[in-house]
Amino acid sequence: HTKTQASEWVHDHVPWGATIATDHSIPLGERNGLAPIFREEYLDFGYLFDHPLAESEKEAYLKERLGGADFLVLSEETPIYFSRAEKTYPAEWRFFDDLFAGRGDFDLVRTIRSRPGIGRWEIGDDAAELSWRFFDHPVVYVFEKRRQ
């Protein structure tokens, strides 16, 4: 499963003591039975969904949660959701648009993807109904904070 692969990659490549911001959909460290070698900062996108916050409050929340993070680990569900809801969630849309365009504070360092297949043949499922990928093998992105 890609989330387990992401957890293992993070455990093997992220320096001890680093702070990782995550939406908790990925079982990092202790939640995957691995040694607790880094600190997790919970990035609660449900909070942004469920509370009638001003755009400036949402931007402040994201900035505060990511301020001390060295890495950001996300599964594709949340960015895809917000990419389709620009008018409803403009602050979140801008955050993800900037993040994936390289305009934010983080650089993409790893994409973990798995496609179904038979033997050595892979079946491209990028156009498949999203719940197929989300529950079975979502793409996971690892970003590292850009050094100043």
Residue 73's H or E segment, with its range, is strand 71-75
* Average pLDDT of the residues in 81-101: 86
pLDDT above 70 as % of the chain: 82
R_g (Cα) of the chain, nearest Å = 16
> Quick one: pLDDT at residue 35?
66
Residues in the chain, overall count? 148
pTM for the model stands at: 0.85
Q: Please give the residue that has the higher pLDDT: either 132 or 90.
A: 90
| Contact between 139 and 76 (Cβ < 8 Å) | yes
